Amino acid sequence: MFGIIRPCAHSLTERLHAQWLGHLCGLCLALRDEHGQAARIVTNYDGLIISALTQAQLGTAQQRTAGPCPLRGMRTATVADGVGARLAATVSLVLASAKLSDHAADGDGLYARRPVAAGARVVARRWAARAHRSGLDLGMDTSVLLAAVAGQRAVELAVTSGASLLTVTEPTELATAAAFAHTAVLAGRPGNAEPLAEAGRFFGRIAHLLDAVEDLAADRAAGAWNPLAATGASYAQAGVLARDAAAGIRLALDEVAFTDAKLVHRLLVHEVEHAIERTFAHADPDYYPPVVQPGRKPKAPRPPGSGSCFWPHVEAPPRSRGPLLGCAVGTWMCCTCQVCCRDPYPGPWSGLPREGWCTNCDCGNCDCSGCCDCVKCCKHCDCDCCGCDC
């Protein structure tokens, strides 16, 4: 569960990147402290937004010093703590339990095996119970989240071709709206609850739409249910809804009283917009029209990815390979850095699109143009000269 918000260090100031990483580590440690080591696997980028929203509304920072961690190069760090991190952990765990139950019910992949599905259901019930107890300690009834997610299956069964995508995204919208709104309760700012619920509703819509776009090819190949395939909606229609929702988030956040809105604005405005463009560009190579220079013929669109080694192509439906051929293709892709820097690349054996390992690293291949021409200045001095909260 990696989420749609995946900022690169180059697109954040050092201070904001440190804050972002602190919320991510704080979420991971809150999951460990309240729900056990195994619960740390549900740590996700989108979940930390709950912690960041709570912190942005509080007058004082709730932090602690974390011990050495291999993912931080065995360095200590100052990480988020307190009610924000705990709420982020609770929301992440309850949504993970619902997703695990959904996989077991659908029999996806390994879950088609009865012992695996039975074990998944046991873990899901345990996580849901623990999240419910933590939610009550924080004044939040997690049954609201579970009911919203549980209603997703009924919505999917009722959807027919020609139906609105907004019908499909509604349960996700309700769940994220409830989580966003409760950050205002924890921060002691009840006036923020309504605009934050609106921002959460739009964020849930975007997350659901981008997930549907990314999974469309794989779902078609596997015969699995997908919102775009079920409703007959196009990439263009989904893109319009996603961009409208991004504009709605920006407007909703303008109505929220924050103590420090920089990180929240960066994540929920700029990074959400980047995620939308990235997802649709990868899903449809013709999404961006070719740039035509005067006196030159337009170039054919290239397949999405990094570098010059685009073989083998990402195909729809995916083309699987046997063990020997898969090993050969995998070796070739590793030697040509496709597994590291190409996004997406086809799995050597399954043929399914995969995300490059270093697409979120500091290798300098990202689009870090920022929001204004003075981004190089703002990156280092952390000023407000560009006129926004980034």
Residue with the bigger pLDDT between 254 and 325: it is 254
Q: List residues bridging with 78 in a β-sheet.
A: 65
Residue with the bigger pLDDT between 33 and 104: it is 33
* Mean pLDDT across 5-30: 87
Residue the block writes with tokens 């995620």: 275
Q: How many other C-beta atoms lie within 10 A of the C-beta of residue 359?
A: 20
Residue with the bigger pLDDT between 147 and 87: it is 87
Structure confidence at residue 367 (pLDDT): 44
pLDDT tens, residue by residue, 295-327: 444 444 344 434 334 467 767 677 788 888 888
Which token pair is 57? 């509304």
Structure confidence at residue 244 (pLDDT): 97
Structure confidence at residue 311 (pLDDT): 61
Closest by CA position to 83, among listed 142, 35, 137: 137
**How far is the C-alpha of 196 from the C-alpha of 30, rounded, in Å?**
23
Q: How many other C-beta atoms lie within 10 A of the C-beta of residue 86?
A: 26
179 in Cβ contact with 91 (< 8 Å): yes
Three-class DSSP category at 108: coil
Most confident of 37-46, 141-150, 298-307, 364-373: 37-46
Which token pair is 380? 């280092």
Residue with the bigger pLDDT between 87 and 103: it is 87
Q: What residue spans of the chain are helical by DSSP H?
A: 14-35, 48-57, 83-106, 114-137, 143-158, 165-186, 193-222, 227-231, 235-254, 262-265, 272-283, 323-335, 338-341, 375-381
2 in Cβ contact with 360 (< 8 Å): no
Structure confidence at residue 356 (pLDDT): 65
Structure confidence at residue 85 (pLDDT): 95
Structure confidence at residue 29 (pLDDT): 94
* Mean pLDDT across 115-119: 90
Q: How many other C-beta atoms lie within 10 A of the C-beta of residue 356?
A: 20
Q: 10, exposed or middle or buried, with CB in 10 Å at 0-12, 13-18, 19+?
A: middle
**How far is the C-alpha of 323 from the C-alpha of 366, rounded, in Å?**
34
Average pLDDT, the chain: 81
**How far is the C-alpha of 90 from the C-alpha of 68, rounded, in Å?**
24
| pLDDT at residue 139 tops 70 | yes
Whether the pTM exceeds 0.85: the reply is no
Residue with the bigger pLDDT between 245 and 313: it is 245
Structure confidence at residue 337 (pLDDT): 65
Residue the block writes with tokens 């609106």: 198
Angle at 70 between CA 65 and CA 74, to 5 degrees: 55
**Alpha carbon 313 to its chain's center:** 25
Structure confidence at residue 373 (pLDDT): 36
Distance in angstroms between the alpha carbons of the first and the last residue of the chain? 26
Q: Which superfamily is assigned to 13-288 in CATH?
A: Farnesyl Diphosphate Synthase (1.10.600.10)
The region of weakest confidence among 96-110, 217-231, 287-301 is 287-301
**Count of all residues that appear for the chain in the document:** 390
| pLDDT at residue 112 tops 70 | yes
pLDDT tens, residue by residue, 263-297: 999 999 999 999 998 888 877 655 443 333 344 44
Distances (CA, A) of 143 to 61, 132, 140: 29, 7, 9
Answer whether the bond into residue 317 is a cis peptide, omega within 30°: yes
| pLDDT at residue 58 tops 60 | yes
Distances (CA, A) of 46 to 4, 81, 169, 180, 342: 7, 17, 17, 12, 23
User: Residue 140 has what DSSP assignment?
Assistant: -
pLDDT tens, residue by residue, 164-210: 999 999 999 999 999 999 999 999 999 999 999 999 999 999 999 99
Structure confidence at residue 319 (pLDDT): 78
CA atoms within 13 A on the CB side of 317: 7
Which token pair is 13? 């100031």
Q: How many other C-beta atoms lie within 10 A of the C-beta of residue 324?
A: 8
**Alpha carbon 86 to its chain's center:** 19
Three-class DSSP category at 371: coil
CA atoms within 13 A on the CB side of 277: 8
183 in Cβ contact with 84 (< 8 Å): yes
